């Protein structure tokens, strides 16, 4: 199984690479379209600012290459937001895989949304063997709303998409690499779970 982390110019890939190694995967770190085309699984991570990360992808011609992939793709945190149509952070056009806008949290609670929170209404292939109400670790100041592509919901100043799924594209707003056993299970589901063909 050839799996890779896409370099976005934002954030540290080390903790995610270590989490993948714990489940038996040694991921490559890639930043060219040519590298993407020879992979079985692609993870688009990200901790940082949307405009900077998207500009990096465009400069490296990775934006079109990611959209054209037919293998399973998982966006994590900022990576999921980049898969959406637009982000309020820096007024940034995204990759448009998910027809959703990403907007800043507004309200009286803490921003960014940091720490452990429960997710519910779980659906789809990523959550096989994971029960509703499970805890995952979040760090983010922006969120995608709900849609018919939402496969998990979290509530912080109102409900938002904790996970999304469309065809071979998946996204999670939380950090599975920091989410203990449930996060490891989700990563195993993505890497080994027949994401392309099982319904």
The series of mean pLDDT values per 10 residues for the chain, 199 residues long, is 89 89 95 95 92 96 97 97 97 98 85 92 96 96 97 96 98 97 98 68
What is the model's pLDDT at position 199?
37
> 129, 77, 132, 67: which is closest to 98 by C-alpha?
67
Q: Which CATH architecture has domain 3-192?
A: 3-Layer(aba) Sandwich (3.40)
77 is catalytic: yes
What is the model's pLDDT at position 196?
59
Q: Which of 77, 113, 134, 140 is catalytic?
A: 77
Q: Which of 113, 140, 156, 175 is catalytic?
A: 175
What is the model's pLDDT at position 107?
75
For residue 92, what are the β-bridge partners?
Answer: 87
**In whole angstroms, how far apart are CA 122 and each of 60, 125, 171?**
35, 10, 13
Helix and strand numbers, DSSP H then E, in the chain: 6, 13
CA atoms within 13 A on the CB side of 134: 21
């Amino acid at each position: 199984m050839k799996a890779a982390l896409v370099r976005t110019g934002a954030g540290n890939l080390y903790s995610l690479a270590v989490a993948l190694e714990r489940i038996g995967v040694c991921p490559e770190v890639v930043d060219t379209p040519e590298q993407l085309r020879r992979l079985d699984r692609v993870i688009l991570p990200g901790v940082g600012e949307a405009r900077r990360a998207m500009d990096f992808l465009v400069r490296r011609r990775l934006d079109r290459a990611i959209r054209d992939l037919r293998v399973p793709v998982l966006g994590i945190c900022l990576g999921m937001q980049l898969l959406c149509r637009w982000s309020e952070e820096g007024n940034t056009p995204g990759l448009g895989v998910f027809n959703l806008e990403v907007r800043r949290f507004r309200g009286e609670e803490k921003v960014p949304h940091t720490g452990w929170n429960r997710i519910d209404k779980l659906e789809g292939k990523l959550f096989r063997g994971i029960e509703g109400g499970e805890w995952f670790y979040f760090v983010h100041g922006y969120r995608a709303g709900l849609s018919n592509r939402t496969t998990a919901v979290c509530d912080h100043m109102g409900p938002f998409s904790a996970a999304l799924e469309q065809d071979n594209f998946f996204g999670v707003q939380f950090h599975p690499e920091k989410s203990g056993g449930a996060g490891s299970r989700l990563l195993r589901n993505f890497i080994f779970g027949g994401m392309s063909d099982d319904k």
